[in-house]
A and B are shown apart, each in its own frame.
Chain A
Amino acid sequence: MKKIYGQPESLLPVQTKYCAGCGHGVVHRIIAELVDEMNLREKTVITNPVGCAIWADLYFNFDSVQPAHGRTPAVATSLKRILTDHLVICYQGDGDLAAIGTAETVHAANRGEHFTTIFINNAIYGMTGGQMAPTTLVHQKATTAPHGRDPEFPAGMGYPIKVPEMLATLGGTKYLARGSVDTPGHIRALKGYIRKAFEAQMAGYGFSMVEVLSPCPTNWGVTPEKAVTWIGEKMIPYYPLGEIKNELPAGFEGKGETAE
């Protein structure tokens, strides 16, 4: 009998520390499935970043490196430059990628480093308990924005950063997409984006990144069910889904499922 569904070998059969309704687990599952499908488990290195996903190394059944907060793309840079035939996954949250590590992100992308960034955008700091993130929506409340994010002065909290759109201007970026884990359809599309990014990496094209709109019910102060609704109602209108930039060679479609 043919097995059509099961535990990916790349994901260890352990309970995670993630909260109920957190999106990390879904993204971990997608990554593990793809690594298995591409037969790369023994040739994959993931960076587990400072933030909730620092525990990712406990869940993946392949090599991992834990860098300093925000320096993740710098570490992924040298890993991939040396392990050129490996799949290097630079896993980052919004604080790691778009606040403390903005410089590392921009320059790794601009050099066209051949690793893939998986960017979990849950519009909040999770691990430290609900502070404002660079991707927190305007008027969204956080412990450090108790009245909501206010870009106007005197508060002067700035605007939520659209990372792939910002990176799209850089010559080194070849594939930038944004997906979401709020519905089964979006999850399937997300897997297609990540597959294309991984395949582009292994084919030696430039920098690839997939942003994932991901729920954080704990720090949003809502139920898991309301959290996924909030993604659809509030986040997606501001952070549009789809391929933001695709400069992969004509005809390179990988084996990925096409988006929606």
Chain B
Amino acid sequence: MKQKRVLMKGNEAIAEAAIRAGCGAYFGYPITPQNELIAWMACHMPEHNRIFIQAESELAAINMVYGAACTGMRAMTSSSSPGISLKQEGISYAAGADLPLVFVNMVRGGPGLGSIAPAQSDYFQSTRGGGHGDYHVIVLAPKSVQEAADLTCLAFDLADKWRMPAMILGDGLIGQMMEGVVLPEYRDLSALPDKSEWTVGGMKNSGRKPHRISSINLNPEELEQQIRARFERYSRIEQEEVCFEEKNCDNADIILVAYGSCARVCQGAVQLAAEAGIHAGLFRPVTLWPFPYKELERLAASGRPVLVTEMSMGQMIQDVRLGVHDRVPVHLLSHAGGVIPTEEEVFDRIRQIVSEVKK
């Protein structure tokens, strides 16, 4: 059967994919450029007898997600950079209480109020935990509307599988642009993961003892043990869940590294390079945490130079450097504040780096 392809904005596709993935409760607060997401949820969650609340703030929204997650329901929120900063408190608490939840960041130029144009400047915040304390969240970075929908389903699955927050890291471009998308199938709600081992509510006739969901432990040795156990889980995630896309990297003259919108720009630059007789490869991390360090290390063995393109002042480049261990030169093409690089600009840089290598 031919699958139905529809034209949607990224924000709408994420919202609809979440509903299909079994998201039972959505809580949000308006902020540009993710407003289509909350509007879609306001319209369609009630149609499916799901819960929608426009919260009074991002703080309230993420904590409503926290409460929903405590009952075992799949729940999510979405926002953009300044709003995500506010949500970090609740995300840290969720990480500390081992709660699965999903949140979306359609990044805009920062710091502060910044701009409403696309940016990638929340990379450090996303991949290093984001709030206070030792923890990680799973970070998935889509490059297209289709991938935004697919990764939203994956985010719910991974959050449940590893009992931790998972995020979709997009930007204003991913959120606002319209593309064809084949939406995922509706999940059978009765077949979603059973979490009754730890959730609150539904104690009646279960014979169980009370469940207490909390992130507090005033005994330092015990808290350290809990954190170490969590980090053992993180190391398994690093083994099992790394996801990336590699194009034309074998025998390439230069390897481009970019994620999300920037990777789309780099695809165009790779074509321009090919027309000019330069073989440029493209390596695109899809999971930003866990980051594909080992795969980059393997590519670095070729000795080819690397060009990192990002819409931030050199954030992901630090992870690229950790991956390639200084074995190859790593160049940076960066923009900030909401400026998107052009294909021509990236191509010019490719040509410049390759010609220097040949000298």
User: What mask results when residues 39 to 62 of chain A are scored 1 for a CB within 8 Å of chain B, else 0?
Assistant: 001110100100000100100111
* Contact B214–A57 (Cβ < 8 Å): yes
Does B123 reach chain A (CB closer than 8 Å)?
no
Interface of A (DSSP majority class): helix
- Please measure, in the bound complex, the distance between the C-alpha atom of A116 and the C-alpha atom of B290, giving whole angstroms: 42
* Contact B203–A43 (Cβ < 8 Å): yes
Q: For A68, A83, A86, A111, which residue has the most chain B Cβ atoms within 10 angstroms?
A: A68
* Contact A74–B60 (Cβ < 8 Å): yes
* Contact A68–B93 (Cβ < 8 Å): yes
**Which of B27, B67, B68, B211 is in CB contact (< 8 Å) with A63?**
B211
In chain A, what residue has the closest Cβ to B24?
A82
Does B70 reach chain A (CB closer than 8 Å)?
yes
* Contact A104–B60 (Cβ < 8 Å): yes
Does B213 reach chain A (CB closer than 8 Å)?
yes
* Contact A86–B56 (Cβ < 8 Å): no
Kindly list chain A residues whose C-beta atoms are within 8 Å of the C-beta of B93: 67-68
- Please measure, in the bound complex, the distance between the C-alpha atom of A71 and the C-alpha atom of B90, giving whole angstroms: 9
Interface residue tally for chain A (C-beta within 8 Å): 32
In chain B, what residue has the closest Cβ to A47?
B67
* Contact A66–B214 (Cβ < 8 Å): yes
In chain A, what residue has the closest Cβ to B72?
A82
- Please measure, in the bound complex, the distance between the C-alpha atom of A1 and the C-alpha atom of B206, giving whole angstroms: 31
Known: A60-B210, A74-B59, A104-B60. A65 touches B67 (CB 8 A): yes
* Contact A67–B66 (Cβ < 8 Å): yes
Kindly list chain A residues whose C-beta atoms are within 8 Å of the C-beta of B68: 78-79, 81-82
* Contact A62–B90 (Cβ < 8 Å): no
CB distance from A10 to the nearest CB of B (A): 10
Does A142 reach chain B (CB closer than 8 Å)?
no
* Contact A103–B57 (Cβ < 8 Å): yes
Does A218 reach chain B (CB closer than 8 Å)?
no
Kindly list chain A residues whose C-beta atoms are within 8 Å of the C-beta of B90: 68, 71
- Please measure, in the bound complex, the distance between the C-alpha atom of A86 and the C-alpha atom of B210, giving whole angstroms: 14
- Please measure, in the bound complex, the distance between the C-alpha atom of A57 and the C-alpha atom of B211, giving whole angstroms: 9
* Contact A78–B65 (Cβ < 8 Å): yes
**Which of A43, A63, A75, A81 is in CB contact (< 8 Å) with B63?**
A75
* Contact B214–A79 (Cβ < 8 Å): no
* Contact B60–A63 (Cβ < 8 Å): no
Does B64 reach chain A (CB closer than 8 Å)?
yes
User: What mask results when residues 98 to 118 of chain B are scored 1 for a CB within 8 Å of chain A, else 0?
Assistant: 000000000000000000000
* Contact B64–A75 (Cβ < 8 Å): yes
- Please measure, in the bound complex, the distance between the C-alpha atom of A60 and the C-alpha atom of B75, giving whole angstroms: 27
Does B71 reach chain A (CB closer than 8 Å)?
yes
- Please measure, in the bound complex, the distance between the C-alpha atom of A76 and the C-alpha atom of B202, giving whole angstroms: 16
In chain A, what residue has the closest Cβ to B51?
A81
* Contact B210–A65 (Cβ < 8 Å): no
Known: A57-B212, A78-B25. A104 touches B59 (CB 8 A): yes
Does A29 reach chain B (CB closer than 8 Å)?
no
Does A188 reach chain B (CB closer than 8 Å)?
no
Interface positions of A from 4 to 39, Cβ below 8 Å from B = none
**Which of A60, A79, A111 is in CB contact (< 8 Å) with B67?**
A79
* Contact B60–A103 (Cβ < 8 Å): yes
Known: A48-B214, A66-B213, A66-B216. A79 touches B71 (CB 8 A): yes
User: What mask results when residues 207 to 248 of chain B are scored 1 for a CB within 8 Å of chain A, else 0?
Assistant: 000111111100000000000000000000000000000000
- Please measure, in the bound complex, the distance between the C-alpha atom of A60 and the C-alpha atom of B56, giving whole angstroms: 31
* Contact B201–A63 (Cβ < 8 Å): yes
Kindly list chain B residues whose C-beta atoms are within 8 Å of the C-beta of A83: 71, 200-202
Does B53 reach chain A (CB closer than 8 Å)?
yes
In chain A, what residue has the closest Cβ to B25?
A78
User: What mask results when residues 47 to 79 of chain B are scored 1 for a CB within 8 Å of chain A, else 0?
Assistant: 000010101110111011111101101010000
* Contact A75–B66 (Cβ < 8 Å): yes
Kindly list chain B residues whose C-beta atoms are within 8 Å of the C-beta of A111: 53
Does A64 reach chain B (CB closer than 8 Å)?
yes
* Contact B210–A64 (Cβ < 8 Å): yes
User: What mask results when residues 1 to 42 of chain B are scored 1 for a CB within 8 Å of chain A, else 0?
Assistant: 000000000000000000000001101000000000000000
- Please measure, in the bound complex, the distance between the C-alpha atom of A76 and the C-alpha atom of B70, giving whole angstroms: 11
- Please measure, in the bound complex, the distance between the C-alpha atom of A63 and the C-alpha atom of B57, giving whole angstroms: 27
Does A107 reach chain B (CB closer than 8 Å)?
yes
- Please measure, in the bound complex, the distance between the C-alpha atom of A64 and the C-alpha atom of B211, giving whole angstroms: 6
Known: A43-B204, A77-B64, A78-B27. A68 touches B89 (CB 8 A): yes
Kindly list chain A residues whose C-beta atoms are within 8 Å of the C-beta of B216: 54, 66
* Contact B60–A86 (Cβ < 8 Å): no
**Which of A63, A74, A79 is in CB contact (< 8 Å) with B210?**
A63
* Contact A78–B51 (Cβ < 8 Å): yes
CB distance from B114 to the nearest CB of A (A): 24
Kindly list chain A residues whose C-beta atoms are within 8 Å of the C-beta of B211: 63-64
**Which of B57, B61, B200, B212 is in CB contact (< 8 Å) with A79?**
B200
In chain A, what residue has the closest Cβ to B199?
A63
* Contact B25–A82 (Cβ < 8 Å): yes
Kindly list chain A residues whose C-beta atoms are within 8 Å of the C-beta of B202: 83
6 inter-chain pairs at a CB distance below 8 angstroms, sorted by A residue, are: A43-B204, A64-B210, A78-B75, A86-B201, A103-B56, A107-B55
**Residue ranges of A at the interface with B (Cβ–Cβ < 8 Å):** 41-43, 45, 48, 54, 57, 60-68, 71, 74-79, 81-83, 86, 103-104, 106-107, 111
Closest 6 pairs (CB-CB, A-B): A78-B67, A75-B67, A66-B214, A71-B63, A74-B63, A107-B56
New A-B pairs, 12, CB < 8 Å, besides A68-B93, A74-B61, A75-B64: A48-B214, A62-B210, A63-B211, A64-B210, A64-B213, A71-B60, A71-B66, A75-B63, A77-B67, A82-B25, A82-B51, A111-B53
